[in-house]
């Protein structure tokens, strides 16, 4: 049944074009993560500076994602997505030229991170809300899982390609920025591909009826809607906690690779590809388990195990062991997030979909709440200690929510 659903979903041309664009954009983002992390750490040798660069990317998501939800409900979603990817492509070309000529500084990564984060905050709610408009309701879980799978495939190929390309062009000179510059030119081309494939989607995307309300009133309506629907509020909460305590693993992995494991760019590419490989199995597992009962209980259980895997990353001492652990981390990330997003999509009202997706997106912007203190721990002690503390806090936070939050306990309602 799952295989037939996947085939049926991919036969729908509009969804297939949107999916292809999502794949190209996610491939670009994952290449960018390796290239950015490697060059920033080469320039500064500071785990805290890696955290600041991540903050510049994530903070706009907390500040502007709610406005992205209003845009998703008010404007044709296709137009929003095309404009966002075209802007990302143009900005990345500028940064690629700066890097390639050897004039890059730490602050260049701050401004491009802020721009990329703002564009994502204003456009991702439209992309997520667009999926249910292109496929029938019975295939929503499959469509969301396929979107997650595209993201995770890019996490395998993108980081490995970026890491090996940097190493090959640098020819052993790890201080060279030339390889990173070439990678950024490729990233810009992929963002352009994402814009072009979205142009080929025939449906413009639904817009809400004009009701005379302003953007702030729309945001307030969305917040009230989420707060009044406890299962939806619980799902949002269970999206926030992992981004605070688990996602710093992604931000600090370049420093962990160099300082704890003694690895090079090839090893960093291998680690991130292992994480992506595990995530593919997780998202495909979710695509084949749409009829799973007690999804809320599974969501809570995988959150706890996800926290344990975060702690285990900090305990790894070799590239081989770390690869196995981050693969499990990736599996849990994809399975949990696919389940959470699927439950949100099938439970939310269509007129509120963009705004609810934007509130979920805002949780991504809360990642710096964990990255910065964990970055300080990494500077004060070491990165392994910081990740062990993050994993422990993750498990304790989920346990406390399961015990004391009726909204979290009610996600199965």
Given pLDDT bands bounded at 50, 70 and 90, which one contains residue 17? very high
Q: pLDDT > 70: what percent of the chain?
A: 90
Please state, in angstroms and rounded to a whole number, the distance separating the CA atoms of residues 91 and 13. 30
pTM over 0.75: no
Q: Which residue, 274, 350, 273, 336, is CA-closest to 308?
A: 336
Place 200 in a pLDDT band, splitting at 50, 70 and 90: very high
pLDDT at 302 over 90: no
Q: How many whole angstroms separate alpha carbon 356 and alpha carbon 226?
A: 7
- Report, in this order, helix, strand and coil percent for the chain, each rounded to 5: 85, 0, 15
Does residue 287 or residue 85 have the better pLDDT?
85
pLDDT by residue (tens digit) across 352-369?
Answer: 888 888 887 776 666 666
In tens, the pLDDT along 41-56 reads 777 777 777 778 877 8
Q: What is the 3-state secondary structure (H, E, C) of 65-107?
A: HHHHHHHHHHCCHHHHHHHHHHHHHHHHHHHHHHHHCCCCCHH
Residue 94 contacts residue 219 (beta carbons within 8 Å):
no
Summarised one tens digit per residue, pLDDT across range 210-254 is 666 778 888 888 888 888 888 888 888 888 888 788 777 777 788
Dist CA 161 CA 42 (whole Å): 19
Would you state the structure tokens that stand for residue 196, as one six-digit string?
């072009």
CA–CA dist 281, 51 (Å, integer) = 29
Give residue 175's pLDDT band: very low, low, confident or very high (50, 70, 90). Answer: low
Q: Please state the rounded mean pLDDT for residues 289-295.
A: 65
* pLDDT of residue 209 exceeding 80: no
The answer to whether the beta carbons of residues 23 and 250 sit under 8 Å apart is no
Name residue, tokens 């346990």. 399
- What is the pLDDT, as a whole number, of residue 1? 44
Q: What is the pLDDT of residue 279?
A: 80
Which residue, among 350, 237, 337, 232, has the nearest Cα to 287 in the 3D structure?
Answer: 337
> How far is CA 306 from each of CA 75, 141, 221, 299, 374, rounded to the nearest angstrom?
37, 21, 33, 10, 17
- At 121-131, the pLDDT tens digits run 888 888 888 88
- Residue 172, classified by CB atoms within 10 Å of its CB into exposed (0-12), middle (13-18) or buried (19+), is exposed
Measure CA of the first residue to CA of the last residue in the chain; give whole Å: 26
Cβ distance 77 to 204 under 8 Å? yes
As a whole number, mean pLDDT of residues 103-114 equals 84
Inter-CA distances, 113 with 18, 67, 130, 179, 214, Å: 24, 19, 25, 19, 29
In a 10 Å sphere around its CB, with 0-12 CB exposed, 13-18 middle and 19+ buried, how is residue 55 labelled?
buried
More confident position, 242 or 413:
242
Contacts of 348 (CB under 8 A, 6+ apart): 232, 356, 357
């Amino acid at each position: 049944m799952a295989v037939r659903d996947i085939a049926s979903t991919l036969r729908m041309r509009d969804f297939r074009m949107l999916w292809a664009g999502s794949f190209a954009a996610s491939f670009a983002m994952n290449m960018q993560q390796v290239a950015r992390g490697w060059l920033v750490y080469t320039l500064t040798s500071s785990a805290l500076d890696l955290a600041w660069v991540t903050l510049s990317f994530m903070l706009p998501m907390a500040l502007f994602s709610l406005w992205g939800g209003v845009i998703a409900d008010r404007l044709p979603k296709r137009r929003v997505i095309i404009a966002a990817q075209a802007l990302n492509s143009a900005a990345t070309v500028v940064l690629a030229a700066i890097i390639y000529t050897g004039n890059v500084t730490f602050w260049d990564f701050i401004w491009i991170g802020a721009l990329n984060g703002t564009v994502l905050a204003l456009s991702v709610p439209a992309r997520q809300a667009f999926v249910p408009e292109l496929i029938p309701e019975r295939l929503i879980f499959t469509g969301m899982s396929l979107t997650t799978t595209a993201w995770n495939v890019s996490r395998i190929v993108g980081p490995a390609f970026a890491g090996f390309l940097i190493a090959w062009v640098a020819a052993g000179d790890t201080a060279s920025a030339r390889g990173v510059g070439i990678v950024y030119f490729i990233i810009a081309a992929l963002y352009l591909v994402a814009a072009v494939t979205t142009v080929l989607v025939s449906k413009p995307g639904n817009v809400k009826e004009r009701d005379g309300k302003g953007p702030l009133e729309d945001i307030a309506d969305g917040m009230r809607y989420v707060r009044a629907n406890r299962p939806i509020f619980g799902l949002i909460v269970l999206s926030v906690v992992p981004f605070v305590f688990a996602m710093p693993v992604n931000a600090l992995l370049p420093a962990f690779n160099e300082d704890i494991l003694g690895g090079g760019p090839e090893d960093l590419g291998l680690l991130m590809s292992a994480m992506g490989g595990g995530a593919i199995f997780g998202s495909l597992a979710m695509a084949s388990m749409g009829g799973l009962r007690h999804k809320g209980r599974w969501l809570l259980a995988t959150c706890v195990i996800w926290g344990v895997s975060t702690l285990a990353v900090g305990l790894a001492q070799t590239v081989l062991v770390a690869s196995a652990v981050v693969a499990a981390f990736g599996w849990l990330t994809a399975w949990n997030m696919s389940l959470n997003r699927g439950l949100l999509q099938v439970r939310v009202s269509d007129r509120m979909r963009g705004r609810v997706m934007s509130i979920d997106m805002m949780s991504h912007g809360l990642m710096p709440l964990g990255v910065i203190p964990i970055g300080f721990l990494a500077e004060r002690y070491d990165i392994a200690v910081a990740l062990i503390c993050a994993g422990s806090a993750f498990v304790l936070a989920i346990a406390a929510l399961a015990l004391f939050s009726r909204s979290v306990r009610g996600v199965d309602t």
